[in-house]
């Protein structure tokens, strides 16, 4: 039994759960090293507190790397997988289910048994949120590549390129640096489009005074990076400069607040207060951050409703922003690793105002 599965079993015991199935591809990878995208087919990793681990997978995936010496039960496309799963689980005990398992699988399981089910994702989430040294090493390298791409892309920003064209350039720079897969679709927002935190790049072109919000990340050795920087094209107005300074100070305050034992909600509060005191609180419309790892957005959030305390090994973003409708947006985002004394900042691209 590997150490990660042992940690999950120990956490199952704390939650008084004797059995669960893990169906999230990222969690299956985390626990086994098997990177499988089952598509519409059922894939489940059954874990019992006794230490029994069984994979239920379509025969298409039976030769996948990472399955190891665990028991493997396969089915083909002519078979229904739920009856096979029912033969493996203990129908007399509660079964833990992943939060994002397709409803049609769960409904069929419910129709064919009288079992009790609970959402067991928190058990996995609580284990995954603390990164081990190997994970931190990979995340550090992933962010280093992200830094390099951000510094290089600046020279390609020009009036002739639309947001969509710039996003494509960014992807090409990632590929040149050995990154084939993005953590998420790159956000490249000019001017008033920057007021939408999750704007989808379109055919907008730059004009003088625009803010340029670039939020991007790539996947290195299966671990994500994520960073945002805001630039200005030619001379911005005085309010835009003021807002940039406020967001920069909020970013710094958030990072300075990070240390073991501090509630994530308090980190959010400290970050948010910098913006609220300047009268822009209503324009900071999202949480301060999110955990990151195999997935770009992982549990838990760094938000006002999170009473979870920062622990050594957690890796999350600090990304305050101010978004003025029909004008501009400013966001500055860094990833941090919680250390014994505070945090290590993984991003090193300058946060000073950069007017292109």
What pLDDT shows up at residue 67?
A: 82
Each residue's pLDDT tens digit, 296-345 = 999 999 999 999 999 999 999 999 999 999 999 999 999 999 999 999 99
| Domains 3-128 and 133-345 equal at CATH topology level | no
Each residue's pLDDT tens digit, 244-294 = 999 999 999 999 999 999 999 999 999 999 999 999 999 999 999 999 999
CB 122 within 8 A of CB 100: no
Each residue's pLDDT tens digit, 187-210 = 999 999 999 999 999 999 999 999
Indicate the CATH number of 3-128 among 3.40.50.2300, 3.40.470.10, 3.40.50.970, 3.40.350.10: 3.40.350.10
Mean pLDDT on 65-77? 88
User: What Cα–Cα distance (Å) separates residue 328 from each residue in 43, 75, 187?
Assistant: 45, 54, 14
CB 347 within 8 A of CB 292: no
What residue spans define the domains of the chain? Answer: 3-128, 133-345
What pLDDT shows up at residue 62?
A: 87
* Token pair recorded at residue 317: 């973003």
Q: Where does the pLDDT of residue 66 fall: very low under 50, low under 70, confident under 90, or very high at 90 and above?
A: confident
* Token pair recorded at residue 188: 């490249």
Within 8 A by CB and 6+ apart from 175, the residues are: none
Q: Say whether pLDDT at 35 is over 90.
A: yes
Category of 294 on φ-ψ map: left (φ > 0), alpha (ψ -120 to 50) or beta: alpha
Q: Say whether pLDDT at 65 is over 90.
A: no
Each residue's pLDDT tens digit, 207-228 = 999 999 999 999 999 999 999 9
* Token pair recorded at residue 100: 């994002």
Strands 298-302 and 53-58, by their bridges, are unpaired
What pLDDT shows up at residue 1?
A: 67
Q: Say whether pLDDT at 240 is over 70.
A: yes
CATH of domain 133-345: 3.90.230.10
Partners of 74 in beta bridges: 57
Q: Say whether pLDDT at 42 is over 70.
A: yes
Of the candidates 218, 224, 226, 229, the one whose C-alpha atom is nearest the C-alpha of residue 157 is 229
Crossing angle, helix 163-176 and helix 133-153, to 10 degrees? Answer: 130
Q: In b/e form, how buried is each residue of 84-110, taking b as 16+ CB within 10 angstroms?
A: ebeebbeeeebbbbbeebeeebbebbe
Mean pLDDT of the chain: 96
| Secondary structure string (H, E, C) spanning 164-212 | HHHHHHHHHHHHHCCCCCECCCCEEEEHHHHHCCCCCCCCCECCCCCEE
Q: How far apart are CA 40 and CA 156, in angstroms?
A: 40
H or E element, residue 17: none
Q: Say whether pLDDT at 63 is over 90.
A: no
Partners of 345 in beta bridges: 336
Q: Where does the pLDDT of residue 70 fall: very low under 50, low under 70, confident under 90, or very high at 90 and above?
A: confident
């Amino acid at each position: 039994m590997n150490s990660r599965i042992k940690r999950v079993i120990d956490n199952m015991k704390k939650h008084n759960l004797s059995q669960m199935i893990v169906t999230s591809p990222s969690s299956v990878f985390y626990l086994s090293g098997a990177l499988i995208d089952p598509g519409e087919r059922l894939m489940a990793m059954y874990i019992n507190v006794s230490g029994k681990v069984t994979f239920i997978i379509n025969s298409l995936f039976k030769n996948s790397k990472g399955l190891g010496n665990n028991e493997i039960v396969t089915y083909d496309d002519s078979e229904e997988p739920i009856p096979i799963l029912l033969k493996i689980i203990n129908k007399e005990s509660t079964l833990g289910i992943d939060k994002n398992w397709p409803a049609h699988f769960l409904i069929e399981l419910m129709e064919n048994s009288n079992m009790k089910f609970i959402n067991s994702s928190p058990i996995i989430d609580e284990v995954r949120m603390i990164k081990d040294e190997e994970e931190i090493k990979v995340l550090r390298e992933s962010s280093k590549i992200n830094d390099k791409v951000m510094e290089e892309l600046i020279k390609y920003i020009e009036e002739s390129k639309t947001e969509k064209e710039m996003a494509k350039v960014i992807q090409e720079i990632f590929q040149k640096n050995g990154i084939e897969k993005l953590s998420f679709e790159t956000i490249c927002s000019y001017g008033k489009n920057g007021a939408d935190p999750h704007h989808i790049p379109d055919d907008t072109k730059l004009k003088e005074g625009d803010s340029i919000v670039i939020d991007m990340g790539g996947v290195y050795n299966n671990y994500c990076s994520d960073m945002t920087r805001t630039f200005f094209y030619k001379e911005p107005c005085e309010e835009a400069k003021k807002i940039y300074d406020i967001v920069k100070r909020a970013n710094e305050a958030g990072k300075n607040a990070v240390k073991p034992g501090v509630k994530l909600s308090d980190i959010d509060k400290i970050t948010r207060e910098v913006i609220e005191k300047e009268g822009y609180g209503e324009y900071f419309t999202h949480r301060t951050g999110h955990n990151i790892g195999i997935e770009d957005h992982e549990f838990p959030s760094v938000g006002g409703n999170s009473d979870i305390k920062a622990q050594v090994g957690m890796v999350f973003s600090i990304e305050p922003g101010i978004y003025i409708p029909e004008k501009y947006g400013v966001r500055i985002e860094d990833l941090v690793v919680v250390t014994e004394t505070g945090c290590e900042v993984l991003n090193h691209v300058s946060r000073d105002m950069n007017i292109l």
